[in-house]
Chains A and B, each alone.
Chain A
Amino acid sequence: MSVLDDLAVKIASGAVRMVDLTHTLDPDFPVIILPPEFGQCARFRMEEISAYDHRGPAWKWNNISMCEHTGTHFDAPSHWISGRDVPNGAVDEIAVERLVGPVVVIDCSEGASKDDDFELTPEVIEAWEAEHGTIPEDCWVLMRTDWSKRRGAEYLNMQDDGPHSPGPTPEAMRLLVEERNIRGFGTETVGTDAGQGMHYTPPYPAHYILHGAGKYGLQCLANLDLLPATGAVLIAPPLKIKNGTGSPLRVMAMVEEA
């Protein structure tokens, strides 16, 4: 039996479990909020074209609109100024084999439950590695915070001084990118950076460091609590948008049952 035949059988039998890491594209799902004088991220919208009626008797279809960075989405290197000149930095240029790959999950849910501004630091990463081994090269790293279980105002957690949600420090990003050479970094929050990430040096270190090195981002992920710390495979293909800086997408993981 070929590898693919084997995989197909195991998916069908449940020996390989498929986990959906995606939120539903919903008009009322939070998006990142910038100061209002800046351009804003468009919310997901759906307008009916016809629904088996006088506008089209036998068919139903909708026009949809959104930002590249609405809902569960992929960040390409060209999203950030540091990645503007990275080769193959737009979603349509990324080789398809880069869109499927191994993934590790760093569980920060306990810390994030106590501290809205919980930081992923080199110490947290090293403690994780002490238990699970060194993070392999060219692998996705997901930061689990269980933030995806939050609803309504709790999700952005917007205060007078901006949003408060967990994220990585610049040092943690340098460790992951410069020393571990990961493929990409993903979070359950609205961005790869902490809610207060603008106050680090550099501001928004996840965006700045990841994309400057040609790495990818994933955000607004869900169901990370259903993934093992190591051993799963992530499938994260963005739409093939010409010069796209990102894309909503269906993110899935394959998990081999023990």
Chain B
Amino acid sequence: MTERLKPPPRKNPQKRTVSPTSPPAMRSRASLGISAAAAEGRFMLQVCGECHAVQYPARDACCKCLSVDLPWQDVDPAGQLLAETTIRTSTNLYFRERSPWRTGSVKLDAGPVIIAHVHGDVERGARVRLENKLDRSGQGVLLAMPEERSPDMEDDPQLRAMSSDPKLRRVLIADGRNSNAVALAQALAEAGTSMIFVGESESWRPNPNRSALEKVPGVEMMALDVTDTSSVRELAGEIGGKTDILINNARFVRPGGVLERGDTAFAHDEMEVNYLGLMRLAQAFGPGMCGRTADGVNSAVAWVNVISAYALVNASDYGCFSASNAAAFSLSQSLRAEFRASGLRLMNVFVGPTEDDWHQPLPPPKVMPKALARDVVKGLRDGLEDVYCGDVAKDLRERFMAGPKILEREMTGGGA
């Protein structure tokens, strides 16, 4: 059984912080389908379009009929552990530092035999569920999990190496004025975080969330305004060395497209918060977090952005806001690449219209703060890169994958 994680002792300031190392990242282009599926927490394999044979490992032609029509599909992750071994040494630095490491072969009910990492609670020959996880190099790897839940199973070292679990970690929520801040803080407290820093801009005006935030165990309010470089840098100077997860929930939203507005004032604010705010936070907190990704139980592990799903395709009623989120989305991809070497994970949580003042005239469904908070915590536990929160974001994403131009035409009116 997995041993429950204990709160780590205070760090020995005389010891050098362990430098991050990465598991092997090389993949064929075909194999990147696994990573793309892992980014969303889906278990997908190639399935032959002609003979329906399930393929593993990824390839360019069907192992049965040589067809090149091999689309990625969700596959039943159930199987049985055939053989397992524990690796006690490795020429690879990453695994050498983390040995012993359990691996094995799993016979999937869907067909193929798969080499996988094996969770410590899986017994020999047991039925397992394969999960497709991103490892610290950002590539999809398969992890055999026990079929049934076991106590503290999320504390398994191999699983924790792949997840971004907030348990015993210290979190910064960037915007304590956002209507989702209280729900986020509560969900993180329930997930076992050890500290929750909550940024608050402009303490000279009332914050309706403040009293509720202060009631959440572990919350500490900190002065932070993502539009003010000096404020961001000051806070990073203060807590940058103990920020393990940063949740950038700061957003500025106003309705309106280009012609409706007639000026660039709100657009300026949208870019200042939604785009440059992300950049300021990243420049101030990013390097410190990247340097602490191998720092034990409470290592730096993830960066979370709450981004509008209209970053994928513009919603002209909120046209300028959508554009600022498209900019933030693009910037997050750059940041993800820049984080890659350190293993710091960047998770984007895409949301449709949220339940707040600025979406009040819109009909439901809207993303409730609790739903967002739940998906953020789940995404961290699952170690995801892309989370689509709520029906609107999920639907938008599906339609985007099916045909971006069709979706664009739908969004600009005239669709059925």
A interface vs B, CB < 8 Å? 27-28, 30, 33, 36-37, 39-40, 43, 45-48, 152-153, 155-156, 158
- Can you name 27 A-B residue pairings with CB atoms under 8 Å? A27-B225, A27-B228, A27-B231, A28-B204, A28-B228, A28-B231, A30-B202, A33-B205, A36-B357, A37-B254, A39-B263, A39-B266, A40-B265, A40-B269, A43-B228, A45-B228, A45-B229, A46-B230, A47-B229, A152-B203, A152-B204, A153-B203, A153-B204, A153-B206, A155-B204, A156-B205, A158-B205
Point out the residues of chain A lying under 8 angstroms from B46, CB to CB: none
Given A33-B205, A153-B203, are A46 and B229 neighbors across the interface (CB < 8 Å)?
yes
CB distance B204 to A39 under 8 Å? no
Number of B residues, CB within 8 Å of A: 18
Contact partner of B202 (CB less than 8 A), chosen from A28, A37, A45, is: A28
- Which residues of B276-290 have CB atoms within 8 Å of chain A's CB atoms? none
Point out the residues of chain B lying under 8 angstroms from A158, CB to CB: 205-206
CB distance A156 to B204 under 8 Å? yes
Query: How many angstroms between the C-alpha atoms of A155 and B204 in the bound complex?
Result: 7
B interface vs A, CB < 8 Å? 202-206, 223, 225, 227-231, 254, 263, 265-266, 269, 357
Main secondary structure of the interface of B (DSSP, over half): loop
CB distance from B280 to the nearest CB of A (A): 10
Query: How many angstroms between the C-alpha atoms of A27 and B232 in the bound complex?
Result: 12
CB distance B231 to A30 under 8 Å? no
Given A28-B228, A45-B228, are A153 and B205 neighbors across the interface (CB < 8 Å)?
yes
Query: How many angstroms between the C-alpha atoms of A40 and B230 in the bound complex?
Result: 21
Q: Which one of B204, B223, B229 has the greatest number of beta carbons of chain A within 10 Å?
A: B204
Query: How many angstroms between the C-alpha atoms of A153 and B205 in the bound complex?
Result: 5
Query: How many angstroms between the C-alpha atoms of A121 and B223 in the bound complex?
Result: 39
Point out the residues of chain A lying under 8 angstroms from B263, CB to CB: 39
Point out the residues of chain B lying under 8 angstroms from A152, CB to CB: 203-204
Query: How many angstroms between the C-alpha atoms of A40 and B227 in the bound complex?
Result: 14
Query: How many angstroms between the C-alpha atoms of A110 and B230 in the bound complex?
Result: 37
Point out the residues of chain A lying under 8 angstroms from B202, CB to CB: 28, 30
Query: How many angstroms between the C-alpha atoms of A47 and B279 in the bound complex?
Result: 13
Query: How many angstroms between the C-alpha atoms of A43 and B204 in the bound complex?
Result: 13
Q: Which 4 pairs, one residue from A and one from B, show the smallest C-beta to C-beta distance?
A: A30-B204, A27-B228, A39-B265, A152-B204
Query: How many angstroms between the C-alpha atoms of A48 and B265 in the bound complex?
Result: 22
Point out the residues of chain B lying under 8 angstroms from A47, CB to CB: 229
Point out the residues of chain B lying under 8 angstroms from A36, CB to CB: 357
Q: Which residue of A lies closest to B272 (CB)?
A: A45
Query: How many angstroms between the C-alpha atoms of A27 and B223 in the bound complex?
Result: 12
Point out the residues of chain A lying under 8 angstroms from B229, CB to CB: 45-48
